[in-house]
Amino acid sequence: MPDNSNDKRLLTASDSDGLFERVVAILERARAKVVHAVNSEMVIAYWLIGR
């Protein structure tokens, strides 16, 4: 009886689709955080300039 514990699992189409969707969601969330951080810093910079 072969030992299947070390077998590599092949990704099926649905598995790879789910993985792709998770990667896309992570990247979109990261981009949104970057946009928010930059916007916040720009508001602070303009407020300091105008002060």
Query: Which tens digits make up the pLDDT trace of 10-37?
Result: 667 678 889 999 999 999 999 999 999 9
Placement of tokens 């002060």 in the chain: 51
pTM over 0.95: no
Tell me, yes or no, whether 5 lies in a domain.
no
Going from the C-alpha of 50 to that of each of 17, 29, 37, 39, the distances in angstroms are: 49, 32, 20, 16
Number of domains in the chain: 1
Tell me, yes or no, whether 40 lies in a domain.
yes
Tell me, yes or no, whether 35 lies in a domain.
yes
Placement of tokens 């789910």 in the chain: 18
Helices and strands in the chain, H and E counts: 1, 0
User: Which helix (H) or strand (E) element contains residue 18?
Assistant: helix 13-50
Tell me, yes or no, whether 39 lies in a domain.
yes
Q: Residue 1 pLDDT more than 60?
A: no
Tell me, yes or no, whether 37 lies in a domain.
yes
Tell me, yes or no, whether 16 lies in a domain.
no
Tell me, yes or no, whether 28 lies in a domain.
yes
In which domain, by residue range, is 26 found? 22-51
Task: Give me the mean pLDDT over the 2-17 stretch.
Answer: 66
